[in-house]
Amino acid sequence: MTAPGAPRQHLAAPTALGMPAALGALALVWLWVWSMPVTSLWLRGTIEDQFPQRPIAAVPQSSALVVLGGAVSPPSGKSSDINLQSAADRVWYSARLFHAGKAPLLILSGGSDPERDAYSEARAMAIFLQDLGVPPDAMVLEETSRNTRENAALSATLLKARGIHHILLVTSALHMPRALALFTAQDLQAVPAPTDFEADRLPPPGLLAWLPDALALDGSGRAMKELVGKWVGW
C-alpha cells in the first residue's frame, strides 16, 4: 500500500510505450499475411472470379473492342522500342478477338507523360497490334487519359460520336470490376472480356506457400488498390 502523503506512482508510461510496440507488431503481422502466396492468390481470386475466363468462341460479338492501357510502355529515355508490361495480355487478347470477328473496331485508350514518353500508350498498343495483324484503319486512338475514370469518359465520347453503345471491354481480370463499373456509368453496354488472370496459378508447394514473397505482396497491393478504387468510385 502507498503510505499516506507519499507521491503516487504513474503507471501510464509503460502503457504508452507499449502502444507503438503493439502497432508495430500488428503492422508486421499484416505485412506477413499479405506477403504469403496463399493469401495473395486468394485475395486476387476473389476479385477475378467475378468475371471468369471463357473461350473466345463464347465471347459475344459487339460493335467495338475497348482496350485499356497499362499493357505496354511507349519509348522513353534512350529506348526506341515499346516495352511489353506484365499486362500485355490485354493487347494480345484483343488481337485474338478481332481476328475471331468479335468486333470490327478497336478503341485503344491510354495517354502518356509528354515530358518522358515519345508518344502515347495508345499509339504503342497500335504498333504492337499491327505486328499482330490488326490493320491501322480498324483502330481508333484515345491518347489523353491517364487513369481508368478518364479511360471510360474519353472512350465513351469517341464511341458515342460513332453511334456505338455496345462494346467488349478488354482489361486484366483483376482490373475488370472497377473498370466495368466506370464504363457502365457512361451509359455504355459493356460486356467484360477479361484476360491476364493471375490467381489461376497454384501457390508454391509446401512451406513456400506460407513464407513472405515480394511478388505475392505486390499482387496483394494491386488487389487492394482495386478494392479501394471501386469503393472510392461508389
> Which set of grid coordinates corresponds to residue 79?
529506348
User: pLDDT, tens digit, for every residue of 80-94?
Assistant: 789 999 899 999 999
Q: In terms of Cα–Cα distance, which of 216, 153, 144, 217 is closest to 179?
A: 153
User: pLDDT, tens digit, for every residue of 106-121?
Assistant: 999 999 988 888 999 9
Between residues 78 and 142, which one has the greater pLDDT?
A: 142
Given a cut of 80, is residue 19 above it in pLDDT?
Answer: yes
> Which set of grid coordinates corresponds to residue 161?
460520336
pLDDT of residue 109: 98
Q: Give CA–CA dist 157/186, Å, rounded.
A: 9
Q: Give CA–CA dist 172/226, Å, rounded.
A: 11
Note whether 172 and 41 are within 8 A (CB): no
| Cα angle for residues 180, 96, 152 (degrees, 5° grid) | 25
Given a cut of 60, is residue 9 above it in pLDDT?
Answer: no
Residue 56: which pLDDT band, with cuts at 50, 70 and 90?
very high
Rounded to two decimals, the pTM is 0.86
Between residues 13 and 77, which one has the greater pLDDT?
A: 77
Given a cut of 80, is residue 58 above it in pLDDT?
Answer: yes
Residue boundaries of the structural domains of the chain: 15-48+205-233, 56-195
pLDDT of residue 81: 87
Note whether 224 and 46 are within 8 A (CB): no
- The class (CATH top level) of 56-195 is alpha beta
List of residues 6+ apart from 154 with CB closer than 8 A: 109, 142, 144, 145
